[in-house]
Amino acid sequence: MKKIIVIYFTLIALAYGQGKELIFEDVPQNHWAYKAIQNLVNEGVISEESFLFKGEFPVSRYSFAEGLNRAFNTLNEKKANRGDLVILESLVYEFSRELTKIGFDTDLFNGKI
């Protein structure tokens, strides 16, 4: 599970966002993941639906697949390097069943990659 979270935050390398200040009460600005979470919020990959990020709680495969799908939709392939694309490709393969269930467009993914 920890590996999946690390890979998830690695996806922020695909999107460089600046914008509103992060308001999650449980993520202090000096936290190691603060900037990554802020970038994911700014890019619309995750949303601030509450005031708590709850980073210590497990995430379901379906929730992760949904976030992965949103990350893919914000992908700027001109900013992504080959390593980023390899990570994304392996995640799409690993979560292919869950992504299919939420309507992930495999043809669009293959065209972008």
Per-residue pLDDT tens, the chain, 113 aa: give them. Answer: 555 555 655 554 444 444 456 678 888 889 888 888 888 888 777 777 767 888 888 888 888 888 888 887 777 766 777 787 788 888 888 888 888 888 888 777 777 77
Q: Please give the Cα distance from 14 to 30 (Å, whole number).
A: 22
pLDDT of residue 111: 78
* CB neighbours of residue 37 within 10 Å: 20
Q: Give Rg (Cα) of the chain.
A: 14
Place of tokens 């992965």: 68
Q: d(Cα 62, Cα 108) in Å, to the nearest integer? A: 20
pLDDT confidence of residue 12: 47
**In whole angstroms, what is the distance from residue 73 CA to residue 33 CA?**
22
* Rounded CA separation 68/63 (Å): 9
101 DSSP 8-state letter: H
